[in-house]
Structure formats: structure tokens, C-alpha cells
Structure 1
Amino acid sequence: NDWEIANGLKPDDATGDNGATGDPDHDGMTNLQEYLAGTNPRSASSYLKIGSIELSGNAITLTFEAVANRSYTIEYRNNVRSGPWTKMTDFPAQPFTRTVEIADPGAPASTARFYRVVTPQQP
């Protein structure tokens, strides 16, 4: 596969660091997860993440880097350890990498809220 070759993996070797469950950069993301996210499996600083969360008054704004040709969903929940993740919004795939900024209009003023970005876009 072209992605494996471009990222220094061996497409004919499905074991260890080269396999789908390998993690050559030891960032906790498997090669399969890095492939789906469009990130570099050999760079621990390259992984799908929310880049910033800013609070201004009662408004919360999140940013993340959206990789070309990937779709995303931002989800949230109000308890870090339990409860379902709720879809906040979707970002369809675009043919270019970009920084995405989204405001959470429903953020509660008095309780915590936890966010995650997932790819591909969730139903």
C-alpha cells in the first residue's frame, strides 16, 4: 500500500511495527488508527487530537487539524469516565488539509464537558 511505503512501513510484513496493530512511534495509536486519521506512524507528535480548547465567557471554541480527504465528527460528554458520547457536529472530507474551528453553542456554564474528535465521520 502506498501509505505504508510513504511512512517507512513494509507492506509485505504484517508483524510487529509494520502490522496493523504496530505502533512504531509509541504514541498509543496503532498503524491502522494512524492510517484512518491520516497521521504519521513514525512521529509521536502526529496523531488525531483537538489542538486547542478556549473558553471566553460561556463560549467554548475548539480547533483541530483536519487532514485532506478525511471526514470527522466532534463528540462530547459531561462525565469523563462514563456516559455515551454525543455528536456535536460533522466535518465532511475536503481535498486539502486545514485548521477547523468550532464553537460549542450548548456548553453548560456550570459543569465540565469533555470532547473528542473521531474519524471517519460517525453516523
Structure 2
Amino acid sequence: MEDTQERPNDIAAMEAALQKANTEALKHREQRNTYRGLATRLLAEKTLSEAGLTNSKVAKYLDFSQVTVTDTGELEGLTEQLEALKTDLPELFGVTKRVSGGGDAADKRPVSNKPKTSADALADALKS
């Protein structure tokens, strides 16, 4: 009789331990997926940078859920997406030129190569 009374307690303890193990496993899977996603993104950005694509706008058009890291550390699925982007949005892959701002036409006067007169030198000294 004593054996049957202890058994339900053992089952309840086992169920509680199983529930705890499942909760911990879920937490670890979520952490692994977070780290895997971050590692994939960093590796993809490194690959883009090594390919000469420093335009940060390119990364936002990539679907990182379709990019996986193989056992050898290679990215799978990135090349196909980049080729599609080059076709659809070629302007993202072009060389961008910086435009300086804040200047006006007066700043773009040609510099004279003729020597300054003493009056010009004196005027410059007084301005400073």
C-alpha cells in the first residue's frame, strides 16, 4: 500500500521537473536564435564591407531570415539576395559622392597668383 501512495508524488515531481526543463530549454533556444541572428547579420555586414559595399542602406533590404551560416562559417543565401538587389536597386551599389554644404559662390573665387602689394598685406594684417 505504501508503494502506491508514493508513486503519485513521484509522478508529480517528475512532471514539475519536466516543466522546468522545458522552460529552460525554451529560454536557451530563444537566446541561441538571438545570437545566431546577430552573428549572421554581423558576418553579412562584414562580407558586404569586404565586397566594397559600405552603403548601410543595402543591409536593410536583406532578409536575414533567409541567410544561414554553414558549418564552415560561410553565408548561404546572401549572394542571391545581393544579385537581386543589384538588379532592382543599382543605385545602392554605385559610388556616392559627398556634397559639401554651407558655401556660396563667393567662396569659389579663383585664387590670384600675383604677389600682394604692401597695401594688401597691411589690409590683411588689420583684418586679423
TM-score (structure 2 length as normaliser): 0.21
Structure with the higher helix share, 1 or 2: 2
Larger Rg belongs to? 2
Structure with the higher strand share, 1 or 2: 1
- Return the structure number with greater relative CO, CA threshold 8 A, min gap 6: 1
